[in-house]
A and B are shown apart, each in its own frame.
Chain A
Amino acid sequence: MPFGLLKYGLSNNYPFEKDADLPPPTALKKRYDVVIIGGGGHGVATAYYLAKYHGITNVAILEKGYLGGGNTARNTAVIRSNYLTSDGVKFYAESVKLFRDLSNEFDFNIMYSKRGQLTLAHTDAAIRGFRQRTEVNKHFGGKTELIDPQQIRELVPTLNMNPGHQPVLGGLWHIDGATARHDAVAWGYAKGATQRGVELHQLTEVTDVIVENGKVKGVKAKQGSAEHTIECGIAVQAVAGHSSLLAEKAGFRLPIVTYPLQAMVTQPVKPFLDPLVSSPAFHCYVQQTGRGELVFGGGSDPYPLYNSRSTLELKEQLLAHAVELFPFVANLKLMRQWTGLTDMTSDYSPIMGLSPVENYYLDAGWGTWGFKSTPICGKTMAELVATGKVPELIKPFGADRFSEFRQVNEMGATAASH
């Protein structure tokens, strides 16, 4: 359409396609039944399930940047359920199941790709830990096996079996391990939610939460220089790395500390690596995307910060380890690198459910591991909003677990793999 293109090139108005996936922006209303703060995967998934299963559509998603531009756009898209606790495995296994059907459900390809995830053990202690995780995973709905070095060689022939003089002794082979296109997950949910009447307001930052007599009454939001006061019956906060800051506006504190998390990809090469490979001892994981790029990730930065700057130190450390595992990648060039802000809890499990403010619900503490939970988190949060009752599946993850000393410890199963 060269003439159409020329016409739009000369016009000041951005063209809006008739059958675009998202409806054009509308003016903010004075009141909504439900306001969802944060238009990442979690926020839009919650809105989608509210509309789809509970018929609640007088809903506004308020996003300060653009749809899925936060950690949803920055994660390395590892999907797995091989955690350590029964509470963790049950929850994440349900999410893995939901992921499988999303493309069909959305009529939008999220490029879900089941590759299997391999975690390497370099010590006997790690093997013992893996044995426990294998059994817990099988028992609570995942597919996982403990495999020996010969099986690892067959799965990943290019892996150096004696990296950094710490030979690979065995592996946790998580058959359900998968990846998907993270942006598409947010887009699919947003499309489904807005088709059912939910409003998505981008470039709309929530600057305050209005609480009266311990109950949420609404929020203040900023669009450019315009300020709006929006009333609501229920509010959900799903703002990932900004959880503590928003909670403070609502008048309470969270057991969260915010750390940067960095990742990077190389130039594309021919496919050679099917499974997602991770080594907790080497603090890194490696996977190859459908386009052939290698993705490298590891643990969060060594100290807290609200800044998405990148550091050479972290890249050097992480890549030194990656090169031990796959020596030939040393010749590749890095193409992109980036950082997201991760809201870390001390037990490496999320905080979902009620807050000290009535009708104000929490979806926070997703740290470095929350992409994989997008579907189940949205589904259970929607149920909470619709019924006012905390669903069984997320009961263990309430914020009050910290003051009651019943943490859900997933540190060992999370640290280097997300």
Chain B
Amino acid sequence: MKIMPCPLNGPRNISEFVYGGEVTSLPDVETAPDKEWAEHTFYAYNGTGVAKEWWYHVASGYWFIAERHRVTDQILRTYDPSEDRTLFPAAATTDAAAATQPSAEAVKEEITE
């Protein structure tokens, strides 16, 4: 059984969660040309490193962010979206916020691809 460390519910079976795609920022709705929308819609990260992803806990209706390695499947870090500066620049106040996450230790582990 694979475990997802949920920022809200703690460690849970990964089958309780739904993968929601890569975390990206939306192109400018007023000005972005078609090409940029196509890029945003169809070209996701598909490399062999760590990806930043949306995940959803179905039972509690909770969306959060996970950083997961695309080869080892190791989940390095999970956190509430409000802590993400790129998504919510104003809301993120301290760098320390992420350091308290359950899987923080995993970040130190070396990853080989």
**B17 CB, nearest partner CB in chain A, Å:** 9
Q: Which A221-279 residues have C-beta < 8 A from chain B?
A: 244-245, 248, 253-258
How would residues 13 to 29 of chain B score, 1 for a CB under 8 Å from any chain A CB and 0 otherwise? Answer: 01100110000000000
Q: How far is the CA of A306 from the CA of B1 in the complex (A)?
A: 19
Give the one of A258, A304, A313, A404 with max B CB within 10 A: A304
A402 CB within 8 Å of chain B = yes
Interface size class of A (residues with CB under 8 A): 20 to 34
Residue in A closest to B35 when the chains form the complex, CB atoms = A403
A305 CB within 8 Å of chain B = yes
User: Cβ of A4: which chain B residues have Cβ within 8 Å of it?
Assistant: none
B48 CB within 8 Å of chain A = yes
Q: How far is the CA of A346 from the CA of B1 in the complex (A)?
A: 28
User: Cβ of A403: which chain B residues have Cβ within 8 Å of it?
Assistant: 34-35, 38-39, 42
Do A257 and B44 touch across chains, with their CB atoms under 8 A apart?
yes
Provided the pairs A302-B19, A306-B48, A402-B38 are in contact, do residues A311 and B43 lie with their beta carbons within 8 angstroms? no
Q: How far is the CA of A88 from the CA of B93 in the complex (A)?
A: 52
- Majority-rule SS of A interface residues: loop
Among the stretches B66-74, B82-90, B95-103, B104-112, the one at the interface with A is B66-74
Do A304 and B42 touch across chains, with their CB atoms under 8 A apart?
no
Do A306 and B70 touch across chains, with their CB atoms under 8 A apart?
yes
Cβ contact of B2, chosen from A255, A306, A311, cutoff 8 A: A311
Do A257 and B73 touch across chains, with their CB atoms under 8 A apart?
no
A307 CB within 8 Å of chain B = yes
Q: How far is the CA of A195 from the CA of B50 in the complex (A)?
A: 45
Cβ contact of A307, chosen from B15, B44, B71, cutoff 8 A: B71
Q: How far is the CA of A402 from the CA of B73 in the complex (A)?
A: 29
Do B47 and A248 touch across chains, with their CB atoms under 8 A apart?
yes
User: Cβ of A312: which chain B residues have Cβ within 8 Å of it?
Assistant: 1
**A341 CB, nearest partner CB in chain B, Å:** 11
Provided the pairs A303-B19, A402-B38, A403-B34 are in contact, do residues A309 and B46 lie with their beta carbons within 8 angstroms? no
Residue in B closest to A403 when the chains form the complex, CB atoms = B38
User: Cβ of B51: which chain A residues have Cβ within 8 Å of it?
Assistant: 304
Do B73 and A254 touch across chains, with their CB atoms under 8 A apart?
no
A3 CB within 8 Å of chain B = no
Cβ contact of A304, chosen from B18, B38, B41, B70, cutoff 8 A: B70
Do A305 and B71 touch across chains, with their CB atoms under 8 A apart?
yes
A16 CB within 8 Å of chain B = no
Do B46 and A304 touch across chains, with their CB atoms under 8 A apart?
yes
Interface size class of B (residues with CB under 8 A): 20 to 34
Q: How far is the CA of A402 from the CA of B35 in the complex (A)?
A: 9
Q: How far is the CA of A248 from the CA of B47 in the complex (A)?
A: 9
Q: Which B1-16 residues have C-beta < 8 A from chain A?
A: 1-2, 14-15
User: Cβ of B42: which chain A residues have Cβ within 8 Å of it?
Assistant: 255, 346, 402-403
Residue in A closest to B53 when the chains form the complex, CB atoms = A303
User: Cβ of B73: which chain A residues have Cβ within 8 Å of it?
Assistant: 305, 307, 309
Do A256 and B18 touch across chains, with their CB atoms under 8 A apart?
no
User: Cβ of B2: which chain A residues have Cβ within 8 Å of it?
Assistant: 311, 313
**B31 CB, nearest partner CB in chain A, Å:** 18
User: Cβ of A303: which chain B residues have Cβ within 8 Å of it?
Assistant: 19, 53
Q: How far is the CA of A313 from the CA of B73 in the complex (A)?
A: 15
How would residues 43 to 70 of chain B score, 1 for a CB under 8 Å from any chain A CB and 0 otherwise? Answer: 1101110010100000000000000001
A405 CB within 8 Å of chain B = yes
Q: How far is the CA of A256 from the CA of B47 in the complex (A)?
A: 10
Do A244 and B15 touch across chains, with their CB atoms under 8 A apart?
no
Do B46 and A244 touch across chains, with their CB atoms under 8 A apart?
yes
Q: How far is the CA of A245 from the CA of B48 in the complex (A)?
A: 8
Do A244 and B38 touch across chains, with their CB atoms under 8 A apart?
no
Give the one of A258, A306, A405 with max B CB within 10 A: A306
Q: How far is the CA of A197 from the CA of B19 in the complex (A)?
A: 48
Residue in B closest to A242 when the chains form the complex, CB atoms = B48
User: Cβ of A244: which chain B residues have Cβ within 8 Å of it?
Assistant: 46-47
Q: Which A277-313 residues have C-beta < 8 A from chain B?
A: 302-307, 309, 311-313
User: Cβ of A256: which chain B residues have Cβ within 8 Å of it?
Assistant: 46
Do A254 and B46 touch across chains, with their CB atoms under 8 A apart?
yes
Residue in A closest to B38 when the chains form the complex, CB atoms = A403
Residue in B closest to A302 when the chains form the complex, CB atoms = B19
**B78 CB, nearest partner CB in chain A, Å:** 14
Q: How far is the CA of A257 from the CA of B19 in the complex (A)?
A: 13
Q: How far is the CA of A304 from the CA of B46 in the complex (A)?
A: 8
User: Would you list 9 pairs from A and B whose C-beta atoms are within 8 A, ordered by A residue?
Assistant: A245-B48, A254-B46, A304-B51, A304-B70, A311-B2, A313-B1, A403-B34, A403-B38, A403-B42
Top 4 A-B residue pairs of the complex, sorted by shortest distance between their CB atoms = A303-B19, A255-B42, A244-B46, A403-B38
- A245-B48, A248-B47, A403-B35 provided; 17 other pairs, C-beta below 8 A? A253-B43, A254-B43, A255-B42, A258-B46, A302-B18, A302-B19, A304-B19, A304-B51, A305-B70, A305-B71, A307-B73, A309-B73, A312-B1, A346-B41, A346-B42, A402-B38, A402-B42
